[in-house]
């Protein structure tokens, strides 16, 4: 089985390294040639989590095939098309141009799995790629990129996988699901298959809409949110506004979603959210696809989300400071 991982950020490197160690044929696609050259020279380094208390972390180095997005765009080879493409770039990078590039890399049997936070990217992709070939992944795995060729697994979570189009042939779908589940489980990830992947997307969206902006504003790791009693009312307000919106849109949420949110904070206590990492690196955050996505849906539904509006303005203000430095 050949797997192409597009995006060599923290999560992309984590998934690529773990799958490669498990024997999967991996091709890792970087945005920059500099990173590709470093990965080719030094290998992809993964600091693995401790399995038990008292155990030391240990580092592995794997050597997947490395290429750049530019090279793929200029010379898409249908004969070398992978079985699976894991799209690990940020939601803000999912443009019409990228969708067209991915479509050119796919054969009819190729499936694209989207790991993006937030909402809106699948609509862009499905304008160029048949929805029968698009799958969605929702993961709570924690990863921290140390440098261009090294990543640390900072939090063990769960990954839900499901097709965008549930009207696919059931027998064929079951076979694909089993192959995919086995591939990730062999790499050490906890995986569940879901026929309600939209609900899973919204479950994670509401969790991210609380954790990501608050950790970015406060400059703290995930676990600190549960250690600061003064922030709990705001966390709860953000959560309840999101639930109200989901109910308005007829989207089913987990009954224990608040408890799941707190569990994510605890299990990824040392992890820096992707939005915090972006803020510290002075990069554009995924604010528009997470908080902004909720605000756009709320506007369409005719309801107000005042707490989300406030944190949106705060994070946007942090981003705007960079232009003045």
**Element (DSSP H or E) covering residue 29:** strand 25-30
Angle at the Cα of 40 (from 38 to 42), degrees rounded to 5?
60
- Which domains can be identified in the chain, with CATH numbers? 2-195 (3.40.50.720), 199-322 (1.10.1040.10)
Structure pTM? 0.82
Rounded distance between C-alpha atoms, residue 184 and residue 24, angstroms: 10
The confidence score (pLDDT) of residue 55 equals: 55
Q: How many CA atoms lie within 13 A of 299 on its CB side?
A: 8
Rounded distance between C-alpha atoms, residue 225 and residue 21, angstroms: 34
The confidence score (pLDDT) of residue 196 equals: 84
Rounded distance between C-alpha atoms, residue 239 and residue 254, angstroms: 13
Rounded distance between C-alpha atoms, residue 119 and residue 28, angstroms: 24
The confidence score (pLDDT) of residue 250 equals: 95
**Which letter, b or e, does each residue of 271-305 get, where b requires 16 or more Cβ atoms within 10 Å of its Cβ?**
bbbbbbbbbeeeeebbbbbbbbbbbebbeeeeeeb
The confidence score (pLDDT) of residue 156 equals: 84
The confidence score (pLDDT) of residue 166 equals: 67
Task: Give residue 75's Cα distance to chain centre.
Answer: 27
**Which letter, b or e, does each residue of 138-175 get, where b requires 16 or more Cβ atoms within 10 Å of its Cβ?**
bbbbbbbbeebbbbbbbbbbebbbbbbeeeeeeeebee
The confidence score (pLDDT) of residue 178 equals: 86
- Please list the alpha-helical segments (H only) found in 2-106: 10-21, 33-42, 69-74, 96-104
Q: What tens-digit pLDDT sequence spans the chain (325 residues)?
A: 899 999 999 999 999 999 999 999 999 999 999 999 999 999 999 999 776 555 567 899 999 999 999 998 887 665 589 999 999 998 889 999 999 999 999 999 999 999 998 888 998 999 999 999 999 999 988 888 899 999 999 888 889 998 888 666 566 667 778 888 999 999 999 998 888 898 999 999 999 999 999 999 999 999 999 999 999 999 999 999 999 999 999 999 999 999 999 998 998 888 889 899 899 999 889 999 999 999 999 999 999 999 999 999 999 999 998 765 4
The confidence score (pLDDT) of residue 54 equals: 55
The confidence score (pLDDT) of residue 324 equals: 58
DSSP β-bridge partners for residue 5: 28, 86
């Amino acid at each position: 089985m050949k797997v192409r991982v597009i995006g060599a950020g923290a999560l992309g490197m984590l998934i690529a390294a773990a799958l490669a160690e498990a024997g999967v044929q991996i091709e890792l696609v970087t945005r920059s040639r500099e990173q590709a050259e470093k990965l080719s020279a030094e290998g992809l380094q993964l600091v693995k989590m401790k399995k038990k208390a008292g155990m030391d972390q240990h580092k592995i180095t794997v050597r997947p095939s490395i290429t750049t997005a530019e090279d793929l765009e200029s010379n898409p080879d249908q004969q070398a098309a992978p079985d699976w493409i894991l799209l690990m770039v940020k939601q803000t990078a999912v443009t019409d141009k990228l969708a067209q590039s991915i479509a050119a890399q796919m054969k009819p049997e190729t499936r694209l799995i989207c790991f993006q936070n937030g909402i809106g990217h699948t609509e862009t992709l499905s304008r160029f790629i048949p929805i029968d070939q698009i799958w969605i992944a929702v993961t709570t795995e924690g990863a921290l990129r140390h440098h261009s060729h090294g990543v640390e697994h900072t939090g063990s979570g769960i990954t839900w996988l499901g097709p965008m189009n549930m009207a696919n042939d059931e027998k064929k779908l079951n076979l694909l699901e089993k192959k995919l589940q086995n591939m990730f489980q062999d790499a050490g990830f906890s995986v569940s298959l879901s026929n309600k992947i939209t609900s899973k997307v919204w479950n994670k969206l509401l969790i991210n809409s609380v954790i990501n902006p608050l950790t970015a504003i406060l400059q703290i790791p995930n676990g600190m949110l549960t250690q600061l009693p003064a922030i709990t009312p705001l966390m709860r307000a953000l959560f309840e506004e999101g639930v109200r919106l989901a109910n308005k849109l007829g989207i089913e949420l987990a009954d224990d979603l608040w408890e799941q949110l707190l569990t994510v904070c605890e299990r990824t206590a040392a992890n820096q959210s992707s939005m915090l990492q972006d803020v510290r690196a002075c990069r554009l955050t995924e604010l528009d696809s997470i908080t902004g996505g909720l605000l756009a849906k709320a506007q369409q539904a005719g309801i107000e989300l005042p707490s989300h509006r406030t944190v949106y303005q705060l994070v946007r203000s942090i981003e705007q400071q960079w232009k003045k430095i």
